[in-house]
Structure 1
Amino acid sequence: MTSTILRSAAETARHAPSIFNTQPWRWQVRGDVLELRADRTRLLPVTDPEGRMLTVSCGLALHHALVALAAGGHATRVERRPDAADPDLLARITLTGAADPTDVRLRNAIPDRHTDRRPFADTPVPDGFVDRLRGAAEARGVYVAELDADSLVRFQVTAARAGELDQNDVAYQAELARWTHRPASSADGVGPESTVVPTPRTVPLRSFFPDGADRLLPGPGHDGGARYLVLWTVGDTPADWLAAGEAMSAALLETTAAGLAVSPMTDVVEVPASRAMLHRVLNHLGEAQVALRIGVPSTTDALPATPRRTDVIG
């Protein structure tokens, strides 16, 4: 019974987003314990040589699993990075008994959450919503900076510069191509059906298909009501990266549950030059781990589901 509960939570965590949809995690059920491990075979050596975004991605999966367990009325004890001699063991979740169900709203949002790369509507995000995300992040030791008008100008430059550097990096382009032209049997990667035909927007997004193979129509929005957030931490260690992933998951699920749209922007932290720019945007307070664009959807057209691996639970 216990192993079934834990396996179900790991199944739910398969919905978590990840860099290039690499899904770089492995779950192992051991009695009443569920272990999360980093899958280094899915490290992106050019885009993510340190494993920052791999670890952030695993943090997303960890939070998804914990939400599923909390919503099912299961109390847990979580040990993060419990073994210094085994750095790829990122978390150990132990069931400790029954509890009143919580996070049901977030669990219900998990299958509905999709990265929406289309421009958002001009309708403003409801007042107080960013504060809700800020509270969820700070509970995990992660901070949220919302970009004001002046910072947004610098962020536009940062995003554009990151795109230019990536476009001119032959090794990066080869790595991108490997993860955007996957065989159907791979159940991973980013396909053209989920990327948007280029359109003018406030802040440029990563170009996954420089050859123009994108298939998703942008819709009527222009990102006029979009808000841009940077999740940052005081430190810049693997523990901080894991916490940033958990905070990012909370933000994505809160946004989805509120009927809003969201897309992560990780390219601005992958390139050292753009990370340095973001450090200045943050007034040198901490280290940027990921940026989020949130807003009101400009269309009700459904987004396509992205493929998910079935071989990640042991």
Structure 2
Amino acid sequence: MNGSHGSTAPSGIDARFLTRNGHAARQLAALLVRQGADGVGGRLPRVRDFAERLGVGNGTVQAGLRLLEEAGAIKTVARGHLGTFLVAADRAALWRLSGLGTLLAAMPLPYSRRYEGLATGLRVAFEDAGAPFAMTFRRGAAARIAALVEGKVELAVLSRFAADRMVERQPVELIADLGPATYAGAHGVLLRPGATLGSPRLRVAVDDSSEDQRMLAERFFAHRTAVEWVPCSPVQLREVFAQGRADATVWNLDEVPGQLGAEVQVLPLGDELTRDLAVRHASAALIGRAQEEEEGAGALAAVRNVLDLSTVTAVQGEVLRGERVPAY
């Protein structure tokens, strides 16, 4: 902040933004954040429209806009009867002044390079958007959803398949679908040496923390009456097969360790419905709590407008090709 424009409060916040006019400026910052890049170059709403939306007087809105300009968060130009136009915006400054805070996302454990690329892509996209962003890693969609519903995080990353099911059951909503192959590359059927799909009884490895993996496995082996489910996490998969405790599974091939051995057979998914489920599992989805705030007031509403999904997928692709070191 420019020291010539007022003092700084003990908390580190410019004291001007603690006044009535400052409060209006912070509300205006939140509204402008929601516009994202589309707002730059466009005409601002009329002062009286801002005033009606915020429930304040015209003079308070004008003072709030001046504060944002003095802080370097925006630059406007008046064009007579055409109105006032937003010609530049510092998104990081707007986000900071808006009070929207840091967005914490619950991510899947980075078992695979694809997950590492996803985490890296999200970090870069949020940085480019000027939005403070941090991650916590939790195994299993249920754990990530619990953290979201309990208010421990603002965002959660799941497969699109899991997200659709959770939206039906929990007070959460879809923020963004990141597209094909952003969550998983492909799924396949794994068979240990000596086992066949025609065996009279199969022990099938299943990750109880992953609703997606369990659903795919149950759907694929549904026609078999003699199936024993063997609990298994991604890090245990190699050991479970090596010790002969499981005969088969349906698994995300990104998570299959290279040391599983060439003797383990990898077969394609054959059933059309199972393949459809696998496609939905392969797309990453970003979800948040269903918004209770007044429209436009929430950070998640801002995410929809400022997050560039193409940045996420481009960076993830660079990580997958070895062109970028994962950093998250």
TM-based fold match above 0.5: no
> TM-score, normalised to structure 1's length?
0.25
> TM-score, normalised to structure 2's length?
0.25
